[in-house]
Amino acid sequence: MEQQSRDFLRLADEAIASPERSENREMLGAFMPTLREKAVKDFGGNEDFDALRNDVKAIRQHALEHLGHYLETFTRNARENGSSVNFARNGDELNEIVLDICARSEASRVAKGKSMITEETGLNGALEAAGFSVRETDLGEYIIQEAGETPSHIVGPALHKTQSEIRELFLERHQLGERDLASAGEMVAEARQVLREDFLAAEVGIIGSNALIAENGYSMLVTNEGNGDLCANLPPVLIICTSIDRILPRTDDAMAMLRLLVRSTTGQAVSCYTSFYAGPRRPGDVDGPLETHFVLLDNKRSDILASDYAEMLQCIRCGACLNHCPVYMSAGGHAYGWVYPGPMGSVLTPLLTSLEESYLLPDACTACGRCEEVCPASIPLPGLLRDLRHEAFTEGITATRWRLGIGLHGWLARHPRLYQKVTGFAVSVMHRLGRRRGVIRKLPFAGGWLEARDLPTPAAKTFQQEHQDSLEQ
Ligand code: SF4
């Protein structure tokens, strides 16, 4: 997927101005905030939720601190189960390994389950360029594949689409005859009908993984549609693409993570399907793939693990931070310009690509702190975003006018007497400007900020001036 994070401001402006996105925003705005409340209630209150959060955090931290050991254990056990385990240093390597497996299988059709890792590596484009036909089988992924778009949310890839947009899309792309797809149920049935043929015809199935379990070499996958199981069990060849940080020591650890993941993602107590893939079909098995291949992506994750941002690897990809982020909810996922949007994307994108390309993303934050509050992995997202902003500033990546402004503010803050004089003067001018209307609608250097909001007229004096006056009286 081509990275456009440099265009964040333009893409966000366009999304905010779009009438379709406005309709979509209202719908999501009413739905999303209830998810966390439901999760906490299901656990019997904040205490139990926080206790499990701490346990899972400790498990993830331990797994990442011993990543090499657990990857080795996983690899040994998965190979003993009959799977092949491949490691890819970057996206191109992952794509090459998958292409090679597909070519060796003499495949022409691939059925795919939802996988953000393959979005990260641009696998669909690579497969299609090599002549393979690829069908996304998760309903949301199928919709955006038909629309020629990219996911806007890590859990609900087509959340940006309204029901009427999806209906129009199906009317245009499918041979429908008399059927007019008046309800959501009819659209789902339509997609199911189309996808059924793809499941049966595909020679290769590709899926992602929510957890790699070291103690037995299994992979756990959580879905609500069951499409992952069809991709995994119907085609003769199964490829599981995921990243090295998905490793967990034991099945019990995966179950603990599952309890947090599902509640934080959709507010459900448990997902419709939780599947464990143990390798290729064994003698006596009635179904299952004839071959199972793991492709495990690094793509700078080893570097992140050794950096001050290592905590970000504890992310369990639940999407809760997106659902509660005012910036994501206004701008939508496509504005972030790459695979991972919202607060987690604003941290991950600069780390997985480059800060030069995506330095605007850490600024896309109101510092409200809601993302950290709802994150089931307790990742200090606002702190990590602040660290990235600091890094962009110190490395000279931040735009010159911002650097000058922040530098000037920093210098003034180190000279308190001058700072008080300058702020006192500015406040008295602003007071005079807005006295009559009660609000200020224009200010030099703050045009963008005032475009969508009014600034209440400040008092005639700063708090410190008032305090000084009261001492002198
Ligand atoms: S950062 Fe936390 S809230 Fe966001 S997707 Fe990851 S685990 Fe979920």
Check which CATH number belongs to the domain holding 271 and give it.
Answer: 3.40.50.10420
Whether ligand 1 lies within 6 angstroms of the CB of 313 is answered as: no
334 assigned to some structural domain: yes
C-alpha–C-alpha distance, residues 326 and 330, integer Å:
6
Which of 264, 299, 334 represents a domain boundary (last residue)?
Answer: 299
Q: Which atom of ligand 1 is nearest to the CA of 374?
A: 3
Residue 223 and residue 268 in contact, taking contact as beta carbons nearer than 8 Å: no
Question: Is residue 200 located within the same domain as residue 288?
Answer: yes
* pLDDT at site 47: 65
Which of 332, 363, 398 represents a domain boundary (last residue)?
Answer: 398
Question: Is residue 114 located within the same domain as residue 244?
Answer: yes
Spatial CA neighbour of 226 closest among 252, 253, 199, 245: 199
C-alpha–C-alpha distance, residues 65 and 14, integer Å:
42
Question: Is residue 156 located within the same domain as residue 213?
Answer: yes
172 assigned to some structural domain: yes
Which of 238, 270, 299 represents a domain boundary (last residue)?
Answer: 299
Output the six-digit token pair for 47.
């205490």
The pLDDT profile of the chain, 473 residues, written as one tens digit per residue, is 677 888 999 999 898 888 777 777 777 776 666 665 666 666 666 667 888 899 999 999 999 999 999 999 999 999 999 999 999 999 999 999 999 999 999 999 999 999 999 999 999 999 999 999 999 999 999 999 999 999 999 999 998 898 889 999 998 888 777 778 888 999 999 899 899 999 999 999 999 999 999 999 999 999 989 999 999 999 999 999 999 999 999 999 999 999 889 888 877 777 889 999 999 999 999 999 999 999 999 999 999 999 999 999 999 999 999 988 999 998 999 999 999 999 999 999 999 999 999 999 999 999 999 999 989 999 999 999 999 999 999 999 988 888 898 889 999 999 999 999 999 999 999 999 888 889 988 888 788 778 777 889 999 999 988 888 888 87
309 assigned to some structural domain: no
Whether ligand 1 lies within 6 angstroms of the CB of 388 is answered as: no
C-alpha–C-alpha distance, residues 350 and 88, integer Å:
20
Using left for φ > 0, alpha for ψ between -120 and 50, and beta otherwise, residue 342 falls in left
**Whole-number average pLDDT of the chain:** 91
Question: Is residue 12 located within the same domain as residue 117?
Answer: no
Q: What is the pLDDT of residues 342-387, one digit of tens each?
A: 999 999 999 999 999 999 999 999 999 999 998 999 999 999 999 9
Whether ligand 1 lies within 6 angstroms of the CB of 375 is answered as: yes
61 assigned to some structural domain: no
Number of H helices, E strands in the chain: 24, 12
Identify the helix (H) or strand (E) that includes residue 223. strand 218-223
Question: Is residue 414 located within the same domain as residue 358?
Answer: no
Whether ligand 1 lies within 6 angstroms of the CB of 256 is answered as: no
Question: Is residue 250 located within the same domain as residue 151?
Answer: yes
393 assigned to some structural domain: yes
Strand-strand pairing, 273-277 and 133-136: unpaired
Question: Is residue 233 located within the same domain as residue 363?
Answer: no
Q: What would you report as the CA-atom Rg of the chain, rounded to the nearest whole angstrom? A: 25
Question: Is residue 266 located within the same domain as residue 328?
Answer: no
Please tell me the residue having the least CA distance from ligand 1 atom 3: 375
45 assigned to some structural domain: no
Question: Is residue 78 located within the same domain as residue 20?
Answer: no
Residue-number span of the structural domain to which 230 is assigned: 66-299
Question: Is residue 209 located within the same domain as residue 86?
Answer: yes
Residue 382 and residue 369 in contact, taking contact as beta carbons nearer than 8 Å: yes
Question: Is residue 340 located within the same domain as residue 465?
Answer: no
pTM score of the predicted model: 0.90
43 assigned to some structural domain: no
Identify the helix (H) or strand (E) that includes residue 248. strand 247-248
Structurally, how many domains does the chain consist of? Answer: 3
Choosing from 53, 222, 344, 348 the residue with most ligand 1 atoms within 8 A of its CB, the one to mutate for a pocket test is 344
Question: Is residue 120 located within the same domain as residue 207?
Answer: yes
